[in-house]
Each structure stands twice: as structure tokens, then as C-alpha cells.
Structure 1
């Protein structure tokens, strides 16, 4: 692939620029050449031949748009000359045969994980503290201040030190030196007390009361999923008492999800406890005893079939569907072949590839559930004057993803080629081995939040533009589509697939390297950048419209 452009699928009528191509340049296509009539930035597309008004734009072998007006051979595709368009979809048409990738070298490999009594295995061991309602957020923050530094889990705040040094210079009337100050790394004030615990995570949110009862029920279901996630050892939950998200609803959701749930769980209700001091003192004491219990669990070898991989992308670019996403798709296929589970999220970014996923469904029930969820989601978006076609962000468009269908065709590559064994609505938990589709919005944090709530113990997150998203309980491995991004934002990128764009490696080679990296993260041998930066993003999805 060491060239300036790429035709992804034989049926495509556009090419992707792998490097900047200047106006007036002639590019060789088989036995003929194309004269480039506009500057084509890397990641963008240009026409293989003249395209008439209303004719189809084909990429990845799929319909990704139509021409607004005549597009000349060698012309740049933009939002000015292309509009979003997809093929319609219907019931399952046929069954496609799946040929699993070779997994011989991984069949006996293991990772070091935390074995739970229900058979799940965690890649981390966290204690979680979360409110049932936003009224308790302040108390959660007070507990966080009390615990984090004393337990040794706090991230050193080099920016706090920078402000401290600026104040000292100001007091000395020496403000001219402030511009010369740089941030300096400093050490954690105290050593970690519980060596078998990866952290105590304090989550806050704006839900639990007000809004619709559906939102409160969904919040309880989401929290139940987090409690059941194998990366969570136990939890402390604060309730006010009068909110819509009642303790009884949470307990009902937990029992429905796991009747044999046996993790340490402490739920305190402020209106029953009395004073804030009594509530917090009791919560802190119970949490400390819970941490003592959680610390007794140690990592032990586990089969790779115990991996549950969430598949996510954010800040995508024109290279994502060529390098990072297909690499993740190949890893997904390997995990499935090994007996593990994978979950492909972000339903607005499956727009245009529905029929392929329908045909890959293992049975009629799975395909029909997918159809119904996609149509309901699309209709709810249209009802408020929006639509899937509005999904691409300004950053996506600037870097070559000019229609939602174009974005979706590349995003779906994260799901590989394996059969779709189940379709999960938001907060449903993954229980079937194989590829699952999880209904979430395309919003990065809402989607990663949902993946963890459905049982993901690792999340693979591809990006072409760079995004600092992380998750409080599930390690998020950030995978760049291009080396320039990996070098520029090295503090948030874990794994670079840019060598594929440069023609130095192929997808098979890169996927094997990524799987080895996943095993090391799952074993606690490597901390992801989002873990090191404490990027603990948590946003429950309200079932209004979010793309």
C-alpha cells in the first residue's frame, strides 16, 4: 500500500488519498491515468470517473451518498457535491458462510484476571462508589476527597503545583518569571495501601429524578450492569430516598441480571441515616471494610474466552476504516473464534450497513430485533427534526468522512466478519459467545458507558483525530488510525495502526500485535493511557435523541 491513493473495494467509484495529492498531478490507475483537478488532502476522496447528478457514490462496495451535481474525474468529494444516501434494508435475505481466522497460536494462551463466583473474569479489580440520584453527587465528591490520596490512588496534580509556584512568584512581585514556568511531574503523597485493588472509582451523574420514569429505570439497570461487571469487586451506593430511582428498583434489576449476585454491596439512604455526617461516616467505614474484602482477591490465569471486548470509535478520520477499524475487526473475529464475546456499539454509525449485519444474524429473531431497534431509533431522531445523516461531526468532515453512510461503512469494520449472535438493547447484558450488537448512541462517552454496563472487560477505541475518552471500570485501549496522531497525542494513544497506511504492515500482522497488547492490559501488566490519566468518563444515555 506504499502509494498515494487506494481503492478500497473493486466496485468503488472513488479513491482515498493516502497522502496529499496536488492539483495538476497525474495518478496512474492500472493502464491509464487520472488528472487531479483539485488539491486532494490525505484522507479525502476523489472521483475515479465522471459522476452524473444523482448518481451513486460507492465506497467499501456500499452506497455512501449521491452526487448533488456533476462531479468530474479527479475532483474532490465534499459536502458541497455529495449528500448522504444509503440502501434500504429488509428481512434476512441469506446466510453468509463465515471462515474463522487461524487461532492455533492463541488457543492455549491465558491472561491473569480476577475470577468471580459467577464465572466471569475481570481484567481489573475496582471498588465503585455511585449515587442513585444527582442529589448525592456532593457527598460522593466528599468521599472521594477523603479516600483517594490517603489510599494512594490519587493522580499527582502537576497543575496544582504550577498554580502554587505562580502564586509564590506573584507574592514576591516577580510575575515576569511566570511565563518561563513549566509543569513538573510530582509523586503521589502516599503509597498504595491495597495492592490487589486497581482503584476506588467515584462516579457522578445528573439522573435519578426528574425526567421520565424510563430514564430512572434505565439508570438503575445501567448501575446494575456496572455492579455485575467482572471488573467491579463491590460497591457503595448513596441514595437520598425520595427520588424516582428507588433502591427497590436497583435491587430488582440486579436480581434480574444475576440472581446469585454475591459481591459486597452497601446501599445507604440519607433520609434514613439522618445527618450528613452520619451518612458519610457510615459510608466511609463500610467502604473501607469492603476494600479489605476486595483486596483478598488476586489475579489468576484465565482463558482468552473470558474476554468481553467492547468495540468503539470516536474522532474518526478518513483512515479509520482502512487501518484501525479493520484491525480491530480482525481481533474481534479472533476473540470470537477463541470462544469470547465482542460487542459492536453505536447504532447511528451502522447506517447503510444494516443489510449486511441482518444477513450475518444467526437467526430471524436476532435480525428482526436489530431491524426494529434501528428503525425505532431512526424514527425518534426524525421526530425531533434530526436524523442519522447529521451524525458526522465537523472533525469527521474535515478529515474526509463527509456523509454518515461513509462514516458507518468504515465504522462497521470494527465488527469483523463473524456471525451476529445477539442484538442487545441499551443496558442488556452480553451473555452469548460471539459478536453482539449493542444499541447505543454514537456519542463516545454514552457509548463506552453502555459497553461497560453490558459487561465489557476491555474496550477497543479507535480514533483518527484523537479523543481523551476513558471509562472508570473498564480499561480503554486507544488505537490510532495514523502515526501522525500517535506521535502528536502520545499521552492518550496506546496503539498505532498507521503502519498499514504507510504500507509497512498488513492488517493480519497488526491484529496479532494488538491481541498481544490486549492480553498484557487484561493481565494488568500494562496500564492504558486513559487509566494513567484517570479519564473516568460516565454519562448514562437518556432515551431521547442522541447521535
Structure 2
């Protein structure tokens, strides 16, 4: 029998399995379990080995019968499953499912917290507060990307930044689109919102916009005849008008120096945490994601909302099958219907492009124990906590409400985060079970490990371990408070692991919707 007595530090030893809800007919293996082993919750020895993070049937499940995890349906048995059997791709599939959206039926406003916590941020003239003080070189089109990089590299090479200690750096925002597209469709509008959002982002003290000149995404449309930025720290040029690469670089360096002088005048000052907007993300998920890091981040999200801050859940294709948990928390029926409208758009979008909404999880997710998109979505939605859903936004659309909101996006992490940053996220918190590595300049990214083994293996990339929720009975509440404390420290200037490693130069990925022509 396993000894569950706490050690001298008050920690309990590692358990074998975990039941998440009394309705569940599976438990989760918390370690690799060999064939023939006897484990709690199961009356017979296991007929085969089960890897850590995977599911074990606690009773016989007939073909066609629903399988439950979190007290929710995650799929149907595709064959008879014996008690103690490994439940995974070989015997579990999506099956038919229908959710009761029950719009706005479970909306429970959270009480405001009395203690007014603060962070040290960069106050901008439009009333927003940044967590970093970068200068951005934003390109309208792929054709101006190399020149933007040339300017940034030249500024670093000649030591220009040394004279401006209050500036975190120069960030070239380059991408692979901006032309070969319609100027009127939803793809153009998504890119327009994304570039405009970055140009107005509070983590940028100033912007130099660089175009080629003949592209579909015209500088004149982005600028609109007026300065995008209220502080005037916006300058722009096109390579064709300047007379080529070298002339554009010379003028670009001159303009950049002027922007750096303005940016260097700004220093950190106290600001309420209500000015923090967090993008909630997960990637490289595993069977622990919905047990440890995601619900802990959900509690941190609730705490931030209670302080007047904002959190953004995204990845529409990865809430599929769990959308009813969000529609029930919508403040109004209309907000819930906006979310379902995006779900229906995605069903049509995937169908006309030869895909399916349940083509997730990825191979890595499956190796980590996730079987169906329903299971993955239920775990992913846990990042949102319990706060009311205040609104639903399009990709890159400016967030204009405080509290918990949803922004439509693909499940591809760099693309989803790009939209969240464009919408105003000045911090990203990213949970991972397999070990995702990335960063998202100008916004710092905090990495949460879902399991202790991966955290130990990839400690140079992970900021915080949530695996101790399982291994040492740390509570979700305690870990959520720990995450909020880290958010505030990072917002005040503490560097994340991805920042220390220099990530952020390749993760700007606008969502390309529609035909490339």
C-alpha cells in the first residue's frame, strides 16, 4: 500500500493516479505504471503498461459509451474497454457531441479586491502603461523586411543603443505578407488590425514604419493622414521613395536616433495592476495541462480581473467542444452568441479548406496523454478561470473592456499570441507540458511547466513549475497567487527566461486568411 503520510516539509509523496471528478470513468496516471501493477481506484491489476499523464478506465466501458474526464464528455469508446485498460487513440474517438450553451446562465461576477496592488510601468500619453520600453521597426510587407532588419542590425553594430539606457532595444517586426492579397477581404482587415495594434502598443515607446511602396498594405492607409501615436513618436518611409536600400538605411538610422531620444526620456513609475493585460496561452500540452498549470493560471486570471486587470483567452480551434463552459459565463446572451458565431465560422473555414475541427490534438499532445480535441479543449479552457466573459473580439481587435475576454485566433501559438499582443496584451503567460520555447517581443512571455520532470529537464526555458500541484499537493490557489506575483514582477522589469535567451525575433506571425494571389 502506498504511504500517503506527509514528509517533514509537509509534502505528500507522489500518488499513482488521480480522479478529477466523481463522474469520471477514467483516472490519470501520475507516473509510468507497468503491466500487472495494482493501483488505487482500480479493482484489477493493469492488463498493459500506461504512460504518465494517460488515462486508465476505472470500470468497463462499452463501445459507443461516453468517456468522462473533468466530469465532461471527452469522446466515445470506439471498442469495448476493460477495467484497468489504457484509454487512448486505440479505443477512444470524438463521436457525436452536442453542447447546451445555456447563454449567460452561470455568470458570477467576482468581488473586487481591496488591496490596490501596483507595478512599475511605462506611462504613455494615451493613458496606457507598458511593461517594456522598446522601439519598433514595423514593416507593411515582406518586401521591406530585410531593410528593417538591416537598420536594426546597423544600430546594434555601431553602438547607437548604448547612449539610451532606458530603452530595452530595437525590435524589427517583419512578416511574410502585405501583398498578393485582396485589399477588401477579412485577411486584409486582420493584417491591418495587427499592424495598427503593434504600432499603438504600450510596450513600444516609438515606431518607425517601413514600406516598399507598391504593396497592397499601403503606409498611407495605416497612417490615415494622421499620427497613429498620440505622443508623436511615429515616423515612416518607403524604400521606393527614398531611392533604394542604402538611402533608406541612412535615413532610417537618422529617424531611429530621434525616436530613441524620445524613448529614453521615459522611465518606470508606479501604476495600478489594472493596466496589466495578460494573453493566456498554452502550447505543447500534455495530460497534466488541465490538472496543474492551466487551472492555476485560471486562478491567477481571476485574481487579476478582481484587481481590475484584463485577461485574453484565444485559440478558438482549441476551445472547440468546451465553448459551452464559456457561453454560460457570458455577461449577456448576445456575448455568448458572438462566441458561437466564431465557432460556426471556424467550422465553415476548416471545411472549405479540407480540414476538420477535431484534427487536434497534435502528435506531441497525444504522446503526453491527450486523445481528442474535446479533452484538449476542456483543459485549455481552464486557463480562463471563473470570471464572467465580458466580450468576444476578432483577431487583433483592440480590447476596450476590462476583465476576462475572448479573442478569436487559430491554435497555432505564435499566430495566436501575435493577435493578443496586437489587441493590447502587455504580458503573455504560456503553459506547456511538452516544453514549448518562444518569446514575443515587445511583450514578455512567462513559461509555466505543467509537470516537474519537464521543468527539471528544461529549467533554462521554464519560469515556474506547476508540477508540484500533483507531486507535492501545492494548491491551485497557492500556485495562482504565485503566478500573479510573477506577473507583477515581470511587468515591473524582471526578465523572463525567453527574454534572457533572446527570443522574439521570429514569432511575429500575422494570421493569413484567404487567397494568396
**Taking structure 2 as the reference length, what is the TM-score of the superposition?**
0.93
State the alpha-carbon separation in 2 of the partners of residues 254 and 72 from structure 1. 68
Q: Which residue matches 2:212?
A: 240
Q: Which residue matches 2:121?
A: 113
In the alignment of these two chains, the number of paired residues is 499
Q: 1:46 aligns with which of 56, 67, 89?
A: 56
Q: 1:218 aligns with which of 190, 198, 219?
A: 190
- Shift in Å at residue 333 of structure 1? 0.4
Q: 2:133 aligns with which of 121, 125, 129?
A: 125
- Shift in Å at residue 90 of structure 1? 5.8
State the alpha-carbon separation in 2 of the partners of residues 447 and 282 from structure 1. 34
| Aligned pairs for 1:327-342 within 5 A | 327-342=296-311
Q: Which residue matches 2:163?
A: 193
CA contact (8 A) 2:182 2:188 kept: yes
User: Does the residue aligned with 1:243 lie in a helix, a strand or coil?
Assistant: coil
Q: Which residue matches 2:508?
A: 538
Determine if the alignment matches structure 1 residue 375 to structure 2 residue 344: yes
Q: Which residue matches 1:207?
A: 177
State the alpha-carbon separation in 1 of the partners of residues 226 and 391 from structure 2. 21
Q: Which residue matches 1:288?
A: 257
State the alpha-carbon separation in 1 of the partners of residues 224 and 286 from structure 2. 42
- 1:297-317 CA-to-partner distances (Å, cap 9, x unmatched) read 010001111110100001111
Gap change, CA 1:263 and 1:100, over 3 Å in 2: same
State the alpha-carbon separation in 2 of the partners of residues 493 and 41 from structure 1. 23
State the alpha-carbon separation in 1 of the partners of residues 106 and 125 from structure 2. 37
Determine if the alignment matches structure 1 residue 325 to structure 2 residue 294: yes
**Taking structure 1 as the reference length, what is the TM-score of the superposition?**
0.88
Tell me, which stretches of 5 or more residues in structure 1 are unaligned?
154-191
- Shift in Å at residue 324 of structure 1? 0.5
| Backbone CA RMSD of aligned residues | 1.9
- 1:178-197 CA-to-partner distances (Å, cap 9, x unmatched) read xxxxxxxxxxxxxx431111
- Shift in Å at residue 489 of structure 1? 1.0
Determine if the alignment matches structure 1 residue 142 to structure 2 residue 132: no
CA contact (8 A) 2:124 2:231 kept: no
Q: Which residue matches 2:98?
A: 88
State the alpha-carbon separation in 1 of the partners of residues 472 and 156 from structure 2. 46
State the alpha-carbon separation in 2 of the partners of residues 97 and 378 from structure 1. 26
Q: Which residue matches 1:181?
A: none
Gap change, CA 1:326 and 1:85, over 3 Å in 2: farther
CA contact (8 A) 2:107 2:330 kept: no
Q: Which residue matches 1:505?
A: 474
- Shift in Å at residue 251 of structure 1? 2.3
Q: Which residue matches 1:230?
A: 202
Q: 1:9 aligns with which of 21, 27, 43?
A: 21
CA contact (8 A) 1:224 1:253 kept: no
- Shift in Å at residue 277 of structure 1? 2.2
Q: Which residue matches 1:173?
A: none
In terms of fraction of residues, the more helix-rich structure is: 1
CA contact (8 A) 1:63 1:86 kept: no
- 1:335-393 CA-to-partner distances (Å, cap 9, x unmatched) read 11111100001011101111121111001221111111111112210222211211211
Gap change, CA 1:533 and 1:406, over 3 Å in 2: same
Q: 1:100 aligns with which of 93, 97, 110?
A: 110
CA contact (8 A) 2:103 2:330 kept: no
Q: 1:384 aligns with which of 353, 369, 376?
A: 353
Q: Which residue matches 1:527?
A: 495
- Shift in Å at residue 272 of structure 1? 1.6
State the alpha-carbon separation in 1 of the partners of residues 355 and 393 from structure 2. 24
State the alpha-carbon separation in 1 of the partners of residues 182 and 500 from structure 2. 36
| Aligned pairs for 1:405-420 within 5 A | 405-420=374-389
